[in-house]
Amino acid sequence: MSQAFTIPEDIRQRMQHWRHAIHAHPETAFEEHNTAELVAQALSSAGIEIERGLAGTGVVGTLRNGEGPVIALRADLDALPIQELGKPGHASTCQGKMHACGHDGHTAMLLGAAAYLARERNFSGTVHFIFQPAEENEGGARVMVEQGLFERFPVSAIYGMHNFPDLPRGRFGICVGTIMASFDTFEIVITGKGSHAAMPDKGIDPVVISAQLVLALQTIVSRRMSATESAVVSVTQIHAGDTWNVIPETLVLRGTVRTLAADVQARVEAQMHTICGGIAQTTGATVKLDYRHGYPCTVNAPAQTAAAIAAAASVVGEANVETAVQPSMGAEDFAFMLERCPGAYIKVGSAESKEDPPLHNPYYDFNDNVLPIGAAYWVALVAQQLPKNQA
> Where on the chain is the footprint of Ni ion (CB under 5 A)?
101
Taking the least distance from each CB to Ni ion, the nearer of 101 and 220 is: 101
How far is it, in rounded angstroms, from Cα 109 to Cα 197? 60
Taking the least distance from each CB to Ni ion, the nearer of 101 and 161 is: 101
Q: Assign residue 322 a region: left if phi > 0, alpha if psi is -120 to 50, beta otherwise?
A: beta
CA atoms within a 13 Å half-sphere pointing along the CA-CB vector of 166: 9
Smallest distance, Ni ion to C-beta of residue 40, A: 22
Smallest distance, Ni ion to C-beta of residue 77, A: 11
Taking the least distance from each CB to Ni ion, the nearer of 100 and 213 is: 100
Please list the residues that pair with 98 across neighbouring strands: 80
Taking the least distance from each CB to Ni ion, the nearer of 42 and 101 is: 101
How far is it, in rounded angstroms, from Cα 185 to Cα 183? 7
Q: Under 8 Å CB-to-CB from 122, ≥6 apart: which residues? A: 379, 383, 388
Please list the residues that pair with 130 across neighbouring strands: 60, 74
Smallest distance, Ni ion to C-beta of residue 269, A: 25
Using Cβ positions, the residue closest to Ni ion within the complex turns out to be 101
The kind and range of the H/E element at 149 are helix 149-152
Q: Assign residue 360 a region: left if phi > 0, alpha if psi is -120 to 50, beta otherwise?
A: left
Q: Smallest Cα–Cα separation from 300: which of 238, 351, 347, 343?
A: 343
Smallest distance, Ni ion to C-beta of residue 188, A: 28
Smallest distance, Ni ion to C-beta of residue 135, A: 6
Smallest distance, Ni ion to C-beta of residue 36, A: 17
**Torsion over CA: 333, 336, 339, 340 (sign):** negative
How far is it, in rounded angstroms, from Cα 278 to Cα 56? 44
CA atoms within a 13 Å half-sphere pointing along the CA-CB vector of 246: 9
Taking the least distance from each CB to Ni ion, the nearer of 123 and 172 is: 172
Taking the least distance from each CB to Ni ion, the nearer of 187 and 368 is: 368
Smallest distance, Ni ion to C-beta of residue 44, A: 26
Smallest distance, Ni ion to C-beta of residue 366, A: 10
How many CB atoms neighbour CB 214 within 10 A? 15
Taking the least distance from each CB to Ni ion, the nearer of 101 and 275 is: 101
Taking the least distance from each CB to Ni ion, the nearer of 98 and 101 is: 101
How far is it, in rounded angstroms, from Cα 388 to Cα 391? 7
How many CB atoms neighbour CB 368 within 10 A? 17
Please list the residues that pair with 258 across neighbouring strands: 183, 232
